Amino acid sequence: MNKIPYESNSILDKLPQHLKQFIKPQNYEDYTAINQAVWRYVMRKNVDYLSKVAHSSYLEGLQKTGISIDDIPNMYGMNRILKEIGWAAVAVDGFIPPSAFMEFQAYNVLVIASDIRQLENIEYTPAPDIIHEGAGHAPIIANPEYAEYLRRFGEIGCKAISSAKDYELYEAVRHLSIIKEAEGTPKDEIERAENHIEHLQENMGEPSEMALIRNLHWWTVEYGLIGSIDHPKIYGAGLLSSIGESAWCMTDEVIKQPYSLKATYTGFDITKPQPQLFVTPDFAHLSQVLEDFANTMALRTGGFKGLTKLVESNALGTVELSTGLQISGIFKDCLAHDGNPAYIRTVGPTALAYREKELVGHGTDHHVKGFGSAIGKLKGINLAIEDMGPRDLKAYNIFEGERIRLEFEGGVVVSGEIVTGTRNLQGKIILITFKDCLVTHDEKQLFLPEWGLYHMAVGQHIVSAYNGPADLNSFDLVTHELSPGAKDKSNNSAEQKLLEQLYQQVREYRTGHNKTISRNKVFSEVKEKFPNDWLLSVELYELAKATQENNLATTILGHLETVKRNNPKVGHLIDDGLALVDQKLVAKS
Mean pLDDT on 75-98: 84
* pLDDT at 190 exceeding the cut of 80: yes
Q: What percent of the chain has pLDDT over 70?
A: 95
Q: Summarize the confidence of residues 187-197 as an average pLDDT.
A: 91
pLDDT on residue 588: 61
Q: Over range 251-269, report the average pLDDT.
A: 93
77-81, 311-315, 337-341, 348-352: the lowest-pLDDT one:
77-81
Mean pLDDT within 403-427: 94
What pLDDT is stored for residue 192 in this prediction?
Answer: 93
pLDDT (0 to 100) of residue 8? 78
Mean pLDDT score, 11-30 = 91
Q: What is the DSSP letter of 548?
A: T
Give the mean model confidence (pLDDT) for residues 285-294: 98
Of 235 and 480, more confident: 235
pLDDT of 3: 53
pLDDT more than 90, % of the chain: 65
User: pLDDT value at position 485?
Assistant: 52
- Taking every pair of Cα atoms in the chain, the longest distance, rounded to a whole number of angstroms, is 103
Whether the pLDDT of residue 20 is over 70: the answer is yes
- For 380, 498, 501, 533, 534, the CA distances from 529, given in Å and listed in that order, are 89, 9, 13, 9, 12
Residue 482 reports pLDDT greater than 80: no
Q: Give φ, ψ of 552 to 5 degrees.
A: -65, -40
> Mean pLDDT across the stretch 273-277?
91
Residues in the chain, how many? Answer: 589
User: Predicted confidence band at 587 (pLDDT cuts at 50, 70, 90)?
Assistant: low
Q: Provide the pLDDT for residue 484.
A: 56
Residues 6+ apart with CB under 8 A from 166: 98, 204, 208, 210, 211
Query: Could you tell me which residue, 256 or 131, shows the higher pLDDT?
Result: 256
| Confidence class for position 223, pLDDT limits 50, 70, 90 | very high
Residues 211 and 242: beta-carbon distance below 8 Å: no
pTM score of the predicted model: 0.86
**How far apart, in whole angstroms, are the C-alpha atoms of residue 483 and residue 378?**
53
Give me the sign of the Cα torsion angle 434, 439, 445, 446. negative
Average pLDDT for residues 134-163, to the nearest whole number?
92
Indicate the pairing of strand 462-467 with strand 317-321.
antiparallel
Q: Band of the pLDDT at 468, cuts 50, 70, 90?
A: very high
CA–CA separation, 434 vs 449, rounded Å? 9
**What DSSP assignment string belongs to 282-335?**
SHHHHHHHHHHHHTTSHHHH-HHHHHHHHHHHTS-EEEEETTSEEEEEEEEEEE
Long-range Cβ pairs for the range 237-241 (8 Å, 24+): 237/132, 237/133, 237/136, 237/137, 237/140, 238/132, 238/136, 239/136, 240/46, 240/50, 240/54, 240/58, 240/135, 240/136, 240/139, 240/140, 241/42, 241/46, 241/131, 241/132, 241/133, 241/135, 241/136
Q: pLDDT tens-digit profile of 349-362? A: 999 999 999 999 99
Q: Which residue has the higher pLDDT, 584 or 517?
A: 517
- In 3D, which of 392, 307, 135 has the Cα closest to residue 238? 135
Please, which pLDDT band fits residue 177 given cuts at 50, 70 and 90?
confident
What's the pLDDT at 66?
74
pLDDT band at 490 (very low <50, low <70, confident <90, very high): very low
CA distance 136 to 130: 9
> How far is Cα 550 from Cα 565, in angstroms, rounded to an integer?
23
pLDDT of residue 48: 86
Would you say residue 486 has pLDDT above 50?
no
Query: pLDDT value at position 488?
Result: 46
pLDDT of residue 589: 53
